[in-house]
């Protein structure tokens, strides 16, 4: 698959093609809509506590700069902005970003959306961020180690990096690949390549090579009714915080 920097061109095109239905809670991004409150709630709670805030208080992330890498049409960006963060959404997919901008404007949210990759921001010598978030992205990049280095370099001193992905286990193959794409049709066929799923130990090593240490980890767990929660089971989906 041709790649530009850490991006894989075919992966960009795949998700750009889903842009028009990104905000349809019953469309191809339905699993992300269902997962978003759990994953963003976990991030907001830890980032708020890191900065001495009450996670349950109003605008717990007020004034904090957050970079959402691989933001797509903005599901996580909007959730983090509603928590008070100053959000920059970054994605290589132009059509998805156009949808993100229009949706944020309609919601009255001041989110800065930019087209590109983390290495592009670094080349510009731009700002660093209190949190760098990459959700369901790292299993789609060409070079995970380089990607982790870029995330770390974009983090401000005292900040945190949050990465969510899929564990490469037999259970994830059955549930997240065969079940989600072919049996239940929760995702378009071809959304994921199981070989690119990332085991927690692999991600931890790649983050350590980038100068970060995993400080917290949680599983993202889907129940029989389609709801999501956080918990100890990291066998399929999981989320890490690194500093």
Query: Which residues does 126 contact at the CB level (< 8 Å), separation at least 6?
Result: none
DSSP 197: -
> Binding site residues, as ranges?
39, 70, 91, 135
> Binding site residues for S-adenosyl-L-methionine, as ranges?
39, 70, 91, 135
Q: At what angle do helices 9-16 and 94-107 cross, to 10 degrees?
A: 40
Three-state DSSP state, 202: helix
Distance CA 143, CA 192 (A): 16
Query: Which residues does 55 contact at the CB level (< 8 Å), separation at least 6?
Result: 44, 45, 48, 49
């Amino acid at each position: 698959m041709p790649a530009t920097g850490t991006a894989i061109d075919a992966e960009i095109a795949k998700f750009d093609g889903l842009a028009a239905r990104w905000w349809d809670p019953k469309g191809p991004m339905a699993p992300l809509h269902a997962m978003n409150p759990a994953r963003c709630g976990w991030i907001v709670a830890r980032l708020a506590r890191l900065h001495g805030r009450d996670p349950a208080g109003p605008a717990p992330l007020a004034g904090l700069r957050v970079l959402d890498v691989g933001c797509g049409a903005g599901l996580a960006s909007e959730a983090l902005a509603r928590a008070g963060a100053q959000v920059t959404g970054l994605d290589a997919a132009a059509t998805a970003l156009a949808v993100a901008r229009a949706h944020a404007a309609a919601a009255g949210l001041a989110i800065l959306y930019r087209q590109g990759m983390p290495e592009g921001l670094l080349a510009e010598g731009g700002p660093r961020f209190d949190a760098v978030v990459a959700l369901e992205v790292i299993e789609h990049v060409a070079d995970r180690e380089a990607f982790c280095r870029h995330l770390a370099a974009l983090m401000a001193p005292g900040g945190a990096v949050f990465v969510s992905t899929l564990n490469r286990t037999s259970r994830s193959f059955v549930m997240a690949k065969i079940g989600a794409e072919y049996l239940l049709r929760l995702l378009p066929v071809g959304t994921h390549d199981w070989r690119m799923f990332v085991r927690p130990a692999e991600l931890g090593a790649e983050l350590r090579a980038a100068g970060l240490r995993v400080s917290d980890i949680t599983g993202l767990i889907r129940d029989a009714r389609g709801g999501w929660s956080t918990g100890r089971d990291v066998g399929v989906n999981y989320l890490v915080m690194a500093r």
